[in-house]
Amino acid sequence: MIDTIQNIEEISKKLKERAIFEGFTIAGIASIPGSSRIKLRTNALERWLSNNHHAEMKWMEAERRKDISSLLEDAKSILSVGFSYISSHNNENKNNLFKVAKFSQGEDYHKVIYKKLKNIGKWINLEIPDCKWKICVDTSPLLEKAWAEESGIGWIGKNSNLINTKNGSWFTLGFLILTKDLIPDEPHQSLCGKCDICIEHCPTKAIVEPFVINSDLCIAYHTIESREKTIPKKIEENLDGWVAGCDICQDVCPWNKSVPYNNNSETAPKEWIKNLNIESLNWDDKTWKENLKGTTLKRIKPWMWKRNMQANLKNKKIKS
């Protein structure tokens, strides 16, 4: 049982150490309801939604996203973790024609993170038996990047990605909401400074102002989320090979220039991704289903893959 400051400090430290032991790259703790920046981030979300920058992603409108206590009654603390997915094999497309965002090239990160967080939950059951907990990944209605920033594991960059000084932005997030007061880490301060490289390099100008993404102008949105039969001309003209997501604003970020790789089996790119080519247009739905199994890319339906590939081919001269 936690009943003294010393015990609280010790269990808070052990919890973060356990997260690293389970395979997370970074871990931090925030107290609920958090500092004033949570309110500022919530207001920013409301402005983003009111400007319809979320396009057809209606799930972003969930009211529960603005109130973490609605996810777990009597919530007191939150553990934020980052799972690094950058691999030295990420750019091994043997045909160098179609590009797939790095976050999605390996195993489905939702399942990977959930499993690791569940292991931490089992550890909590033993170490803090009177603490209830709830797992959240990015499918949960949580203001995730704001809480990760509040937990001190990084800051929200001008490209809206969470950035860490050592690991850049090449990591996905996971959370454990807890019903115990723990020692919070210092919220992270923004270190983007005057740098606007991500804004300058976005070919469709989707970063309409620092920290604000207009989804209707975003290549990642149109290749992953949009269910329209065709891709808008402005997006199509700037695809440059992207058929599933887009890494441009991360590739150019100075904080991503010297990031340690995580070359484990969970992040290793699937062979079919490295071999994606024009012939892939002839795959039937069964082949697509088999390839997409166990990846986060199954969100992109077979007809969408073909749509994205064909849109790229319109703007490339393919050598026979």
Which of the following is catalytic: 67, 74, 130, 138? 138
Six-digit token string for 182: 């723990």
| Closest C-alpha among 178, 188, 166 to residue 20 | 166
CA distance 49 to 61: 7
- Specify the amino acid at residue 104: S
Place of tokens 């390839």: 291
Contact present, 111 and 295 (Cβ < 8 Å)? no
- Give, rounded to a whole angstrom, the gap between the first and last alpha carbons of the chain: 69
138 is catalytic: yes
Active centre residues (catalytic)? 138
